[in-house]
Amino acid sequence: MATGSAHAELSTLDSQLEELTTRVIAVADQYRDTPDSAITAELDSAERSLLTARRAVERARRNLA
């Protein structure tokens, strides 16, 4: 895969991960102060994982340069 193509693909993945993170936060916020707060805890964990994935994608993109 050419570097430019890989860079574009990683950029797209970063955007998708950002969108997913936003969506996960939105659902978690719906449950934050409810009796179902365990749902929020799980979604907060998912958010952290998505942020970790975004950082890894960004590191990979920087390594292409």
CA distance 5 to 60: 13
The DSSP code sequence of 20-47 is HHHHHHHHHHHHTTSTTHHHHHHHHHHH
The pLDDT tens digits for 11-43 are: 999 999 999 999 999 999 999 989 988 999 999
| Cα R_g (the chain), whole angstroms | 15
Per-domain residue ranges of the chain:
19-64
Q: What is the pTM of this model?
A: 0.87
CA distance 23 to 15: 12
